[in-house]
Chains A and B, each alone.
Chain A
Amino acid sequence: MEHAPNRRRMLECMGWAGAGLLWTMAGGVASSVTLDAARAAQARPKVKPFTFLQVSDSHIGFAKDPNPDARATFREAVGKIQAMPVKPAFIIHTGDITQLSKPEEFDDADQILKQTGLTVFHVPGEHDMLDDANGQAYLDRYGKATGARGDGWYAFDHDGVHFIGLINVKQLKAGGMGHFGDEQLAWLKQDLAGRRASTPIVVFTHVPMWTVYQQWGWGTDDAARALAMLARFGSVTVLNGHIHQVLQKTEGHVAFHTARSTAFPQPAPGAAPSPGPMKVPAGELRSVLGVRTVTYTPGSEALAVVDAALA
């Protein structure tokens, strides 16, 4: 897959710049914003820069090669968070909190995260849907605090940025990939209606919203419908987990970022017979696990994404 901007793409970008778009670079990913939006952002002096974190795929309960104790590596990730010099505003966990949706796995994940003293916003992964009631345990535990609708989707605002937590691990169909479903997409349409195009949007969900590798189900069947609704916004950042590796891609105004796990790595798309855990020597495990820091600076409207390994 071609990630680097080719000549035609660069020329397109320059064409847009000529038409009144401001392009910025953050973490190697180009982002654009209309000049009007940039001026509007500058005219809002009370909005300050802020940083939030993304953790993902903690798989509490996983205890197999290459990680005999996913609780221990999750604790190490939390240790890194506690040692950060600047206190983040909050944490987003993009799912697969647990390995098997057991109550004690959810309990332990919550206890470990609590050590940060930060608010945590969750979306579920498919491993959090394995209770007998198909995800009700997740919803009972996390849904109330966010005023979640349907299977658990919700939105919130923080210092001028609109955050949307979407669920693409329920209502999965045979032969398909991740799936949002009509009810959730109708809600998304309503949530975005009337919102200014200059509002920076952060979407967080478990399975990638771009098709990373269809043969392994690494994509979301109906993501195009959601992306069409987001197309008019000048700055859209999509954060996800599920594939346990850092990958990024930019399409139009949308920057897609997949995050590392804190439990185990997975192979590059198609690089192994299956997407099962990638076996790495014990001494290398922590170099492929990590935590992500995202910084929003008003005016630039490009979110800076930095992925740090545990070691």
Chain B
Amino acid sequence: MAFRNPIRCVPSAAVAALAAVTLGAAAPAPSVIKIDNFTFGPADATVPVGATITWVNGDDIPHTVVAVDKSFRSKVLDTDEKFSFTFTKAGTYAYFCSIHPHMTGKVIVK
């Protein structure tokens, strides 16, 4: 049932996210992660210890930003609402939208 033509299946949002990840490697550490089209952009971000990241919801549907290890959890973010978190410890922080759990992202703090 879930098997499909792999080419037809990749949503363009995923392609965009992939592009953002590739760019992210060379770009300066992001301080803003934009939520657009049910995707965190960039989905993977690397920042120094002490950095603050702000998530902004650009969709017309509410989203949340929730760490898998529960180290941070936003309230529900409606359109254009923001959530910020300061990373004081090194590590890899996987997070997702608790409303649309297929939306995932990762912050690597070095």
In-complex Cβ contact of A274 among B1, B10, B11, B99 (8 A): B11
Residue of B nearest to A132 (CB): B75
Q: A residues within 8 A CB of B8?
A: 270
> Is the CB of A106 closer than 8 A to any CB of chain B?
no
> Is the CB of B50 closer than 8 A to any CB of chain A?
no
CB 8 Å contact bits of B1-32 with A (1 = contact, 0 = none): 11010001111111010000000000000000
> Is the CB of B55 closer than 8 A to any CB of chain A?
no
Query: At the interface with chain B, which of A139-147, A149-157, A213-221?
Result: A213-221
Pair A217/B102 contact, Cβ less than 8 Å: yes
> Is the CB of A277 closer than 8 A to any CB of chain B?
yes
Pair A216/B38 contact, Cβ less than 8 Å: yes
- Distance between Cα atoms of A175 and B9 in the complex (Å): 17
Sorted nearest first, the 7 A-B pairs with minimum C-beta distance are A174-B96, A274-B37, A217-B102, A274-B38, A172-B101, A130-B76, A273-B37
> Is the CB of A126 closer than 8 A to any CB of chain B?
yes
Closest CB-CB distance, A206 to chain B, in whole Å?
12
Pair A276/B60 contact, Cβ less than 8 Å: yes
Pair A273/B12 contact, Cβ less than 8 Å: yes
Closest CB-CB distance, B8 to chain A, in whole Å?
7
Q: A residues within 8 A CB of B90?
A: none
Pair B13/A175 contact, Cβ less than 8 Å: no
Pair B59/A100 contact, Cβ less than 8 Å: no
- Distance between Cα atoms of A287 and B2 in the complex (Å): 30
Pair B37/A175 contact, Cβ less than 8 Å: no
- Distance between Cα atoms of A283 and B108 in the complex (Å): 48
CB 8 Å contact bits of B81-110 with A (1 = contact, 0 = none): 000000000000011101111101000000
Contacting A at CB under 8 A, from B48-98, are 59-62, 68, 75-76, 78-79, 94-96, 98
> Is the CB of A177 closer than 8 A to any CB of chain B?
yes
Q: Mostly helix, strand, loop or mixed at chain B's interface?
A: loop
Listed A/B pairs (24) with beta-carbon separation below 8 Å: A1-B1, A1-B4, A64-B60, A100-B62, A130-B76, A130-B99, A172-B99, A174-B68, A175-B102, A177-B101, A177-B102, A210-B1, A217-B100, A270-B9, A273-B11, A273-B16, A273-B37, A274-B13, A274-B37, A274-B39, A275-B38, A276-B37, A276-B60, A277-B61
Closest CB-CB distance, B6 to chain A, in whole Å?
11
Interface hub of A1, A126, A274 (most chain B Cβ within 10 A): A274
Pair A175/B100 contact, Cβ less than 8 Å: no
In-complex Cβ contact of A172 among B11, B12, B60, B98 (8 A): B98
Interface hub of B4, B14, B62, B101 (most chain A Cβ within 10 A): B101
> Is the CB of A48 closer than 8 A to any CB of chain B?
no
> Is the CB of A127 closer than 8 A to any CB of chain B?
yes
Given A215-B14, A275-B38, A176:B62 Cβ within 8 A: no
Residue of A nearest to B15 (CB): A273
Q: B residues within 8 A CB of A175?
A: 96, 101-102, 104
- Distance between Cα atoms of A176 and B96 in the complex (Å): 10
Interface hub of A130, A174, A273, A276 (most chain B Cβ within 10 A): A174
- Distance between Cα atoms of A65 and B61 in the complex (Å): 11
Pair A176/B11 contact, Cβ less than 8 Å: no
> Is the CB of A99 closer than 8 A to any CB of chain B?
yes
Pair A99/B62 contact, Cβ less than 8 Å: yes
Pair B101/A215 contact, Cβ less than 8 Å: no
Residue of A nearest to B99 (CB): A126
Interface hub of A101, A126, A129 (most chain B Cβ within 10 A): A126
8 more CB-based (< 8 A) A-B contacts, given A175-B96, A177-B101, A274-B37 = A100-B76, A126-B100, A127-B62, A132-B75, A174-B96, A270-B8, A273-B11, A274-B59
> Is the CB of A8 closer than 8 A to any CB of chain B?
no
Given A64-B60, A130-B62, A174-B95, A216:B37 Cβ within 8 A: no
Q: A residues within 8 A CB of B68?
A: 174
